[in-house]
């Protein structure tokens, strides 16, 4: 770190509080300041170049230097730099994007509703669900079920849906009426000799027991990511989503698919719901919708959700919810162009073919003494690191080995992210097979550096 008093690093320490950061450690170590982006690479102030193996935050599908998105932003900024959708107002980029998203949806959807982030979208979904329950004359139906280790954002409501301790501790969360059920992680939570199908059946039974204990007439919706992202890239086991959906259907409980990470090609299909046979009532979209060049997110809602909400807004006189920047014309124009690029360049197909190469290379580490599990689909994966392979236990403390290897990877020119001891890979969808090899070769060097340190801690 550049310790000069007026360096960018020192000024960052002086003036900037970071998200998902230990504030005291940051005062000591300072930031890595990223200055440039080019394709799958980013560059820091010192000129060091890194493969961005997390696509920023699971999100930059088209890479960090796509001129067409820049041009789309400039054109729209010059024409109509801002407008809103309150009081029946609209604008062309918003209309184009809404039509595009509804037509792209893997199951019939009625309307698109725009927000600015995945957190806001999930928060809005909860409000819509409660509003709908009142509209259909079922005011008791307000409880929401999500999952342990699920991730749905950081607003008060969305962080309550999130099932991770650090998003609850000292924030006085979760709020009332948010329940959590089991994580579908067979490797970690399966019983001895329990098959994936048996594990899925047990989790579906547990969900039904929770619904019955709470009262089916009180349960409004179930939120789930097709693949759990920030919880460790947890790929659902065989039969899981089919069995979960059967339970939800039995009790007329809405299904919300949080596609914030999986959507727009990440899994090798346009949506994770297609990969796993999910038939949601609501889809939550963000991140790759605009490659995160500008903040934008969306909800897609089906007729079952929209019609009662529309009736209730008519009874009251308005749907009393909205964001100043929701459906922002510049963000919408960039998102629309981004989706055109994903389709024109067949980045979904690239995620499928290059993703298969990435998955194969990573699975070669399955027998490594520090690797407990390799998992993933398409261009999203995780390698779970362990200190004791047989007992699936950590080295020293939970997260220590993941943090160690992640640090070595950065030294070796790859920015990744460890969720505890699960090291994630989620590169831009434009990545090539040689670039995947470059990324994984760096991971291999980092893993071997960790082996030496684990063997000789002094």
State the pLDDT confidence band at 454, using cuts at 50, 70 and 90: confident
For 282-317, b/e burial (b = at least 16 CB within 10 A) is bbbbbbbbbbbbbbbbbbbbbeebbebbeeeeeeee
User: What would the pLDDT profile of 360-397 be if each residue is shown by its tens digit?
Assistant: 999 999 999 999 999 999 999 999 999 999 999 999 99
User: What would the pLDDT profile of 96-150 be if each residue is shown by its tens digit?
Assistant: 999 999 999 999 999 999 999 999 999 999 999 999 999 999 999 999 999 999 9
User: What would the pLDDT profile of 194-222 be if each residue is shown by its tens digit?
Assistant: 999 999 999 999 999 999 999 999 999 99
Supply the pLDDT for residue 91.
98
Quote the pTM value: 0.96
Which architecture characterizes domain 68-344 according to CATH? 3-Layer(aba) Sandwich (3.40)
* Token reading at 30: 């300072």
Q: What pairing do the DSSP bridges indicate for beta strands 417-419 and 422-425?
A: antiparallel
Supply the pLDDT for residue 95.
98
User: What would the pLDDT profile of 428-442 be if each residue is shown by its tens digit?
Assistant: 999 999 999 999 999
Supply the pLDDT for residue 5.
83
From the list 208, 276, 205, 271, the residue with the least C-alpha distance to 236 is 276
Within 22-163, strands assigned E span 34-38, 41-44, 49-52, 111-115, 143-147
Using CA atoms, how far apart are residues 34 and 49, in angstroms rounded to an integer? 9
User: What would the pLDDT profile of 43-65 be if each residue is shown by its tens digit?
Assistant: 999 999 999 999 999 999 999 99
Using CA atoms, how far apart are residues 428 and 57, in angstroms rounded to an integer? 10
Query: 10 Å Cβ neighbour count for 357?
Result: 17
Would you identify the CATH topology of the domain 32-62+346-455?
A: 3.90.1150
What does the domain layout of the chain look like in residue ranges? 32-62+346-455, 68-344
State the pLDDT confidence band at 1, using cuts at 50, 70 and 90: low
């Amino acid at each position: 770190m550049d310790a000069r008093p007026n360096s960018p690093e020192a000024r960052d320490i002086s003036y900037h509080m970071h998200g998902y950061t230990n504030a005291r450690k940051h005062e000591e170590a300072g930031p890595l300041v990223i200055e440039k982006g080019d394709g799958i690479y980013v560059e820091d102030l010192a000129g060091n170049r890194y493969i961005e193996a997390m696509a920023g935050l699971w999100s930059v599908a088209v890479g960090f230097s796509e001129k067409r998105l820049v041009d789309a932003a400039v054109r729209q900024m010059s024409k109509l730099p801002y407008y809103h959708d309150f009081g029946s107002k609209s604008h062309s980029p918003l209309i184009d994007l809404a039509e595009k998203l509804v037509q792209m949806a893997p199951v019939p959807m009625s309307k698109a509703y725009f927000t600015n982030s995945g957190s806001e979208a999930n928060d809005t979904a909860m409000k819509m669900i409660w509003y709908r329950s009142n509209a259909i004359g079922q005011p008791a139906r307000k409880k929401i079920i999500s999952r342990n280790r699920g991730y749905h954002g950081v607003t008060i409501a969305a962080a309550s849906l999130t099932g991770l301790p650090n998003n609850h501790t000292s924030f006085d969360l979760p709020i009332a009426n948010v329940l959590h059920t089991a994580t579908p992680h067979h490797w970690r939570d399966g019983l001895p000799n329990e098959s994936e199908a048996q594990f899925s059946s047990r989790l579906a039974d547990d969900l039904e027991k929770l619904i019955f204990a709470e009262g089916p007439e009180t349960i409004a919706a179930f939120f789930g990511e097709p693949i759990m992202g920030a919880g460790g890239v947890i790929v659902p086991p065989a039969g899981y989503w089919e069995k979960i959906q059967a339970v939800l259907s039995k009790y007329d409980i809405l299904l919300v698919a949080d596609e914030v990470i999986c959507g727009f090609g990440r899994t090798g299909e346009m949506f994770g719901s297609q990969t796993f046979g999910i038939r949601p009532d609501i889809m939550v979209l963000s991140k790759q919708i605009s490659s995160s060049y500008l903040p934008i997110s969306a909800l897609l809602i089906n007729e079952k959700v929209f019609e009662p909400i529309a009736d209730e807004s008519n009874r009251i006189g308005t749907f009393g919810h909205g964001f100043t920047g929701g459906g922002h014309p510049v963000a919408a124009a960039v998102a629309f162009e981004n989706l055109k690029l994903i389709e024109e360049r067949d980045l979904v197909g690239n995620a499928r073919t290059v993703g298969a190469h990435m998955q194969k290379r990573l699975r070669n580490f399955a027998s490594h003494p520090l690797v407990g599990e390799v998992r993933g689909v398409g261009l999203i994966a995780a390698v779970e690191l362990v200190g004791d392979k047989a007992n699936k236990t950590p080295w020293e403390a939970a997260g220590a080995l993941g943090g160690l290897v992640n640090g070595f990877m950065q030294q070796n020119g790859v920015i990744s992210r460890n969720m505890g001891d699960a090291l994630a890979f989620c590169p831009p969808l434009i990545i090539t097979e040689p670039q995947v090899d470059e990324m994984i070769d760096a991971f291999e060097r980092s893993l071997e550096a960790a082996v030496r340190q684990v063997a000789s801690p002094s």
